[in-house]
Amino acid sequence: MLEKGALYIVGTPIGNLGDFSPRAREVLGAADFIAAEDTRVTRGLLTHFDIHKPLISYFEHNKLDRGAQILSRLKGGETCALVSDAGMPAISDPGEALVASCAREGLPVYVVPGPTAVISALAVSGLPTGRFTFEGFLSVNKRSRREHLLAVEKEERTMVFYEAPHKLRKTLSDFSKTFGPDRPIAVVRELTKIHEEVWRTTLGEAAARYREQEPRGEYVLVIKGASPAPQEESGPSLEEAAALARAQMETGLSPSAAAKEAAKATGLRKGDIYRMIAEEKGEGESL
């Protein structure tokens, strides 16, 4: 039984219909209406599973007007199931705005987990998965695209991008220039479908391959993060050098000789070390 006036985010298969969960089918069958990115795509899914519910379109170019309509119906006590063409709604998807609106209005939102290309591609990439960042699609706007690339140029976490086939060549070329041709990448294509492919290579090799080969299907690009910048080793402090000098004095060396030995060991100036130990001892021996 669904909660009245609630939005349910429902994950749908990204290729293989066998990945559609029993709970997802139950929720779609029980909702008062379904908001879909493309009603034609969703109608095909519903027909396959013998689900018959009213559909309304909700996508990038009508999300403001249609979002207001959905909110109004939710406030009236109806339940809505939100789906995208494939995968999890609200992830690099206009559903994000609808969920945010519900949150502002205090309307309940529930999630019905399902397949997602981000995590699936990351899992099969063979690259580090402990820390990663999802970057979505690069903008086609030159300025926004350049700013996005500059922002992640030194990113140390594994990066996950989406890309459409007609933009893949340009994107791989930009990646190779930004991150270097030797940076490892997993080119993941057509996840869970018949022609699923995971190609683990370098950015330079990937760019070269697709200059000659026509890209086909939907792509997820998983790129290894940058190597951590080498940290400058900080040398011993003056206090540490003075402690070393005091230890030398305990062996019988004069303060001046001890400061000289400590200077050799630490690279610090003999005079600075001597002044520190002289002040502590209250001595005034000439250097």
Q: Provide the pLDDT for residue 274.
A: 87
**What is the spatial order of strands in the sheet that 109-112 belongs to?**
55-57, 33-36, 80-83, 7-10, 109-112
Q: What is the DSSP string of 219-261?
A: EEEEEPPPPPPPPPPP---HHHHHHHHHHHHTTT--HHHHHHH
Question: In which element (H, E) is residue 174 found?
Answer: helix 168-179
Contact 55, 42 (CB under 8 A): yes
| Span of 3-17, 229-243, 245-259 with lowest mean pLDDT | 229-243
User: In angstroms, rounded to a whole number, what is the distance separating the alpha carbons of residues 218 and 189?
Assistant: 6
The reported pLDDT for the residue numbered 281 is 66
CATH topology for the 118-223 domain:
3.30.950
- What pLDDT is recorded for position 258? 87
**Structural tokens at position 21:** 């969960």
* Long-range CB pairs of 146-150, under 8 A, 24+ apart, other chains included: 149/174, 149/175, 149/178, 150/178
pLDDT value of residue 228: 87
What integer is the mean pLDDT of 218-234? 86
Give the residue carrying structure tokens 């908001």. 35
Instruction: Give the model's pLDDT for residue 285.
Output: 46
Residue 284 has pLDDT above 70, yes or no: no
Question: Are 132 and 157 in contact, with CB atoms under 8 Å apart?
Answer: yes
Q: Would you state the pLDDT for residue 286?
A: 45
Residue type, 207: A
| Dihedral sign for Cα atoms in the order 1, 11, 44, 73 | positive
For the chain, the average pLDDT equals 93
Distance CA 43, CA 149 (A): 38
pLDDT band at 123 (very low <50, low <70, confident <90, very high): very high
Q: For residue 94, what is the DSSP state?
A: T
Take residue 132 and report the two structure tokens written for it: 């990663």
Its sign, for the CA torsion 144, 146, 149, 151, is negative
Tell me: pLDDT of 33 over 80.
Answer: yes
Give the pLDDT mean for 99-126: 97
Determine the pLDDT at residue 139: 93
Mean pLDDT of the region 93-100:
95
Q: Is the confidence at residue 232, as pLDDT, over 70?
A: no
Is the pLDDT at 1 greater than 90, yes or no? no
Q: Is the pLDDT of residue 176 over 90?
A: yes
Percentage, residues of the chain above pLDDT 70? 97
Query: How far is 225 from 183, CA to CA, in rounded Å?
Result: 8
| CATH number, span 7-115 | 3.40.1010.10
Q: Which pLDDT band, with edges at 50, 70 and 90, does 287 fall under?
A: very low
User: How many degrees, rounded to 5, is the angle at CA 72 between CA 70 and CA 74?
Assistant: 70
pLDDT at 80 over 70: yes
Q: What is the CA radius of gyration of the chain?
A: 31
The percent of residues in the chain predicted with pLDDT above 90, rounded, is 78
Instruction: Count how many Cα atoms sit within 13 Å of the Cα of residue 220 in the half-sphere of its side chain.
Output: 25
